[in-house]
Chain A
Amino acid sequence: MHTLEPELRTLHAEGVIDDATAARALARDRGQVFSLHAELRATLYVGVLLVMAGVGIVLARNLDRIGPLAIVLAVALIAVAFAVPAVRAKLAGRALTVTSDYLLLLAALLGSANLAYAERQFALLGPLWSWHLLLLAVVHAAIAYAFGSSLVLAASLTALAGWFGVGGTAGDALRFSYSSPELGARALACAAVIAAWRYADRRARPDTRFSDVMDHFGTNLAFWGTITWCLEWPWLAAGLPLLAAFSYASVRRGLDVGREVFLVYGTVYAAIGICAAALPRLHGITTSLSFVLTVVCVTAAVLWLFRRRLREPAP
């Protein structure tokens, strides 16, 4: 264990920090106030993950024994039950707690699973089955707005990205070798839709808490699409200027709002895009590795310089 009490007292005695800041910092250092928020989030996330994994297996294995209609109804009932705490908070005019937020996410995911299962069994949308992802995106967005849930909004944006034919998670960023310009165009179109959505949301609700989630999704999708374009000529002609513009915008945003993650996006994605554009045109292993090493060194230096200019928000 260690305590920083002497240092905090020194700063307070010298008037560097005010009474309130000193009292808060000392209380946390001594353990007089201790938050289990992170542990709670982890527990709830694991709970949602396990239940969804279990339900997935149940849906896959027990069709013959229970019957599709019974399964659909049962899962729908369970989903509604998990949404009860969020509905109660909404009716009481309270903001969602972390628990009701996660339970609402579970309800939304169960709803997704149910819809996909019903579509598989009853072919409700026929040849337009892939539109169920768009339907999910809309339904999840409606739930997210009704309850003010960022978690459900993330599920909505993932469904939207899925409808556009691009994955919504970081793992998809590693599949550039299987990418095509069409995939890049779809990712960019999805990013544009999310950017427009974010703009409209911000105009309609200036105090919105959804901008951060949309920023992350939009930024990642825009960079993935752009990097995909950097792989092939003639898309490269549009890809490189777009990459420069997105990198500038990302770094600018990071510096403006004091968020280092956007500095990381702007610099690291730019480095990946430059390597993706240049490496197929370089000959010889030594030349290629030297080029990548140069890019890596420049990226590290630039990221370091940007980070030094960043002012972190207060705790």
Chain B
Amino acid sequence: MSRWRPTPAEERWLEVASGLGAALPRDPLAARTGGWRGTGLLARLALFVLGFVAAALLFGILGFGNRINLLVAGLIAVLVAEWLTVRKRLHGSGIEEGLCVAGFLLIGAWITTLIGPEADVIGATPQTLVLIVAAGAAGWRRLNPLVTTCAGLVFVHWIGSTTAAYALDEVIGHGATTVAFGCALAALALALGAREFRRPSHDRMLDWLVATLPVTAYAQHAAWSFNAGGFADVGVPSGRLATSLLLLALGTALLLAGLRRRRHAPLLGFMGCVACLAVEFRFATALATETWLVFCGLAALVAGVALDRYLRQPRNGLTSVALTGRDDPLDLLQTAGAALLAERTARELSPPEPAFTPGGGRFGGGGASGSY
């Protein structure tokens, strides 16, 4: 039994308790979980934000002007997080995670002030690397896959911003180095994911990298292409081809691994690769944007309909039907998503307001009634 964080055995029992929910009485597990206490996903997110904000406010109260306050605020935040962990046995509750991440970042920010000028924290500088390491260390300490993944993603972009990467990009195409490095890292995480881990959190850290790396690594390449006009004559053709082949190979590997291991992360990574390939297809052709959007949308809908029909009756254990009614966050996300779509449609296609409305009192219109 550890005072600092759950042992692998305790973490596994916590995972069992989380998976079975109310079907499992709490008392029989109390001793096995080591008394560690957590929350649900939504409360954890809210508490994470509150913890992070609390640490930032602490720095504000101590004073933004003095650099040493970064260290003091960071240390206080980390100590409070550790106190909550050791004395209150909090694990994965959000508040100690938010405090710890903010604390590590504040300490990292203080270290960056010792390295060089404040202006150099953007781009491939040692200062940025210090912040990435700080975030990664906080995520590792808290066994939090969200934080380690964020650190991993920023690290990939940091690699893509180095002088060596820029030199390489001149030869193989802009952003191609980031794509290659991101895909390599995703492939490595996928390979490591085949091993059996004692800690579910370690498994999840790799899963998140597998799911998110392809899209985020490609984003830098896509952003450059978009800014440059985004058509076939932009960039190095061989670089475009290499990027497409890389995404195709990784996507295939992710799909096969996801189906074989029955894991969501590789399948989500595969979907990301398909999305990247669709964008690459848009850049490689002179297709009109609206045609491309409708074509890709219809393709996604057809794929969804086919998948739903094919798997409505389970095949080899695969099914398109929900296995549990306990998907509250997903339902909430779906409702919010539908509302967002409806609002976008209404906003984009609303009839125009009259250009001049005497006494209308709207900002930018004719007349004034005091509201803006």
Using a CB–CB cutoff of 8 Å, the interface residues on chain A facing chain B are: 1-4, 7-8, 11, 14, 16-17, 21, 25, 27-28, 31-59, 61, 85, 97-99, 102-103, 105-106, 109, 112-113, 116-117, 119-120, 123, 129, 132-133, 136, 140, 150-152, 154-155, 157-159, 162, 167-170, 180, 182, 212-213, 216-217, 258-261, 263-264, 267-268, 285-286, 289-290, 292-293, 296-297, 299-300, 303-304, 307-308, 310-315
Task: Give complex CA distance A103, B21 in Å.
Answer: 33
Among B300-339, those with CB < 8 Å from A are: 300-301, 303-305, 307-309, 311-312, 314, 317-328, 330-332, 334-339
Residue contact A37 to B323, C-beta cutoff 8 Å = yes
Residue contact A304 to B24, C-beta cutoff 8 Å = no
Contacts known (A48-B341, A105-B341); A289 close to B61, Cβ less than 8 A: yes
Using a CB–CB cutoff of 8 Å, the interface residues on chain B facing chain A are: 12-13, 15-16, 19-25, 28, 37, 39-40, 42-43, 46-47, 50-51, 53-54, 57-58, 60-61, 93, 95, 193-200, 203, 261-264, 267-268, 271, 275, 289-301, 303-305, 307-309, 311-312, 314, 317-328, 330-332, 334-346, 348-352, 371
Residue contact A159 to B342, C-beta cutoff 8 Å = yes
Chosen A-B contacts, 10 in total, with CB atoms closer than 8 Å, are A11-B16, A27-B317, A43-B307, A47-B299, A50-B293, A50-B294, A52-B341, A105-B338, A113-B349, A312-B40
Residue contact B20 to A2, C-beta cutoff 8 Å = no
7 pairs of A and B residues whose beta carbons are closest in the complex: A31-B262, A50-B297, A54-B293, A47-B300, A51-B297, A54-B294, A116-B349
Main SS class of interface, B: helix
Residue contact A260 to B24, C-beta cutoff 8 Å = no
Residue contact B294 to A43, C-beta cutoff 8 Å = no
Residue contact B47 to A116, C-beta cutoff 8 Å = no
Residue contact A216 to B22, C-beta cutoff 8 Å = no
- Chain B residues contacting A51 (CB-CB under 8 Å) are 293-294, 297-298, 301
Residue contact B15 to A47, C-beta cutoff 8 Å = no
Task: Give complex CA distance A37, B53 in Å.
Answer: 35
Least Cβ distance of B76 to chain A in Å? Answer: 11
Residue contact B342 to A1, C-beta cutoff 8 Å = no
Task: Give complex CA distance A87, B40 in Å.
Answer: 38
Contacts known (A7-B16, A315-B23); A260 close to B40, Cβ less than 8 A: yes
- Chain B residues contacting A2 (CB-CB under 8 Å) are 12, 196-200, 203
Least Cβ distance of B215 to chain A in Å? Answer: 12
Contacts known (A2-B200, A116-B351, A154-B342); A40 close to B193, Cβ less than 8 A: no
> Which of B46, B199, B299 gathers the greatest number of chain A CB atoms within 10 Å?
B46
Least Cβ distance of B16 to chain A in Å? Answer: 5
Residue contact B39 to A154, C-beta cutoff 8 Å = no
Residue contact A54 to B341, C-beta cutoff 8 Å = no
Which of A8, A36, A103, A132 has a CB less than 8 Å from the CB of B318?
Answer: A36
Contacts known (A4-B16, A39-B268); A55 close to B342, Cβ less than 8 A: no
Task: Give complex CA distance A154, B342 in Å.
Answer: 8
Least Cβ distance of B189 to chain A in Å? Answer: 12
Least Cβ distance of A288 to chain B in Å? Answer: 9
Residue contact B290 to A61, C-beta cutoff 8 Å = yes
Residue contact A314 to B322, C-beta cutoff 8 Å = no
- Chain A residues contacting B328 (CB-CB under 8 Å) are 259-261
Contacts known (A14-B28, A37-B321); A98 close to B39, Cβ less than 8 A: no
Residue contact B318 to A112, C-beta cutoff 8 Å = no
- Chain B residues contacting A129 (CB-CB under 8 Å) are 351
Task: Give complex CA distance A166, B21 in Å.
Answer: 38
Least Cβ distance of B291 to chain A in Å? Answer: 7
Q: A44-B304, A313-B325 are known contacts; what are 6 more A-B pairs with Cβ within 8 Å?
A: A31-B317, A36-B311, A116-B349, A286-B61, A293-B54, A315-B324
- Chain A residues contacting B53 (CB-CB under 8 Å) are 296
- Chain A residues contacting B197 (CB-CB under 8 Å) are 1-2
Looking across the interface, which residue of chain A has its beta carbon closest to that of B27?
Answer: A16
Task: Give complex CA distance A10, B177 in Å.
Answer: 49
Residue contact B289 to A57, C-beta cutoff 8 Å = yes
> Which of A2, A136, A308 gathers the greatest number of chain B CB atoms within 10 Å?
A2
Residue contact B58 to A304, C-beta cutoff 8 Å = no
- Chain B residues contacting A44 (CB-CB under 8 Å) are 300-301, 304
Least Cβ distance of B325 to chain A in Å? Answer: 7
Residue contact B23 to A49, C-beta cutoff 8 Å = no
Residue contact A7 to B12, C-beta cutoff 8 Å = yes
Residue contact A167 to B16, C-beta cutoff 8 Å = no
Residue contact A38 to B46, C-beta cutoff 8 Å = no
Residue contact A314 to B21, C-beta cutoff 8 Å = yes
Residue contact A312 to B21, C-beta cutoff 8 Å = yes
- Chain A residues contacting B47 (CB-CB under 8 Å) are 300, 303-304
Residue contact B293 to A57, C-beta cutoff 8 Å = yes
Looking across the interface, which residue of chain B has its beta carbon closest to that of A306?
Answer: B43
Least Cβ distance of B346 to chain A in Å? Answer: 5
- Chain B residues contacting A167 (CB-CB under 8 Å) are 343
Residue contact A34 to B43, C-beta cutoff 8 Å = no
- Chain B residues contacting A216 (CB-CB under 8 Å) are 332, 335-336
Task: Give complex CA distance A54, B295 in Å.
Answer: 9
Which of A4, A34, A116, A260 has a CB less than 8 Å from the CB of B350?
Answer: A116
Contacts known (A162-B343, A289-B57); A4 close to B304, Cβ less than 8 A: no
Task: Give complex CA distance A152, B312 in Å.
Answer: 23
Least Cβ distance of B199 to chain A in Å? Answer: 7
- Chain A residues contacting B292 (CB-CB under 8 Å) are 54
- Chain B residues contacting A296 (CB-CB under 8 Å) are 50, 53-54, 57
Residue contact B320 to A36, C-beta cutoff 8 Å = yes
